[in-house]
Amino acid sequence: MRPIRLALCFLAVAFSALAGEYVVLSNGFRIHASGHTVDGAVIRIQTPEGAIEIPARSVAAFEQEDYVPPPAAAPNPSKAAPQPEPTLDPHELITRAALQAGLPPEIVHSVARAESGYHPDAVSPKGAIGLMQLMPSTAAGLNANPYDPAENAEAGARYLRDLLLKYESDPHQVSKAIAAYNAGPAAVDKYNGIPPYRETIDYVRRVLADYAKQLSTK
């Protein structure tokens, strides 16, 4: 898998295929990784999809791959009752999808916020669906059900990652990828940059401003 380098001064993510431990996040997520390094308040994690950086405060523990958690206490049959599996809220779905795609969660959150405002049932006048506002044809190409919030988030994050890879050698990589997410890569390629559409220009500005704001508050 080729590396992605996001061309913003506050963003650098490298990808490699490695393997070895589990990083346990404070929200309960576990990330399979080959290892990690600590740089002040930032932890760099090497995952099979590539390297990601997360705030140290969001990490609860590190476990070796062969770690076996202590057995849970046997439930009392008289009190036990089947519990439905908890449904992740849209913010958690976006964070999980970003990590699975090897992207910083902040950039995917910025796109999701601009696209749907975190409404899983959002449908645009043009027919874009769900959290990441996927067109049916785009979702089909990603083998995803756009009406399923988890699949929508994961497919949207993968699509954004594909666009970042497409423009990785371009000095305007991030703005082009975001513009392509909104207007389509054909329009970006036609104009060799952000298309002169007011909607797309405003969209790119809004996403980048939101992303920078998130990073400034970390």
Known catalytic residues are 115
Instruction: Locate all alpha helices (DSSP H) within 6-128, ordered by sequence.
Output: 90-101, 105-116
Residue 3, Cβ density class (10 Å: 0-12 exposed, 13-18 middle, ≥19 buried): middle
Q: What phi, psi does 217 have (nearest 5°)?
A: -100, 0
142: helix, coil or strand? coil
DSSP state of 207: H
Given a contact cutoff of 8 angstroms between Cβ atoms, the answer to whether 185 and 135 are in contact is no
Alpha-carbon separation of residue 114 from 40, 119, 209 (angstroms): 31, 11, 11
